[in-house]
Amino acid sequence: MTELNNIYNTIRQLASHEQAEHHQCYFKTGEGEYGAGDIFLGIRVPTIRNLYKQFKNTSFNTLTELLKSKYHEERQLALFILVLQCKNKKTDQITKKQIFELYLDNTKYINNWDLVDCSAEHIVGAYIFDKDKDILYQMAISDSLWERRISIMSTFYFIRKEKFEDTLKLSEILLQDKEDLIHKAVGWMLREIGNRNLAREQDFLRKHYKLMPRTMLRYAIEKFPKDLRQKYLKGLI
- The whole-angstrom separation of Cα 181 and Cα 193 is 19
- The b/e string for 184-217 (b: 16+ C-beta within 10 A; e otherwise) is bbbbbbbbbbbeeeeebbbebbeebbeebbeebb
Per-residue pLDDT tens over the stretch 108-158? 999 999 999 999 999 999 999 999 999 999 999 999 999 999 999 999 999
Per-residue pLDDT tens over the stretch 11-21? 999 999 999 99
pLDDT band per the 50, 70, 90 thresholds, residue 53 = confident
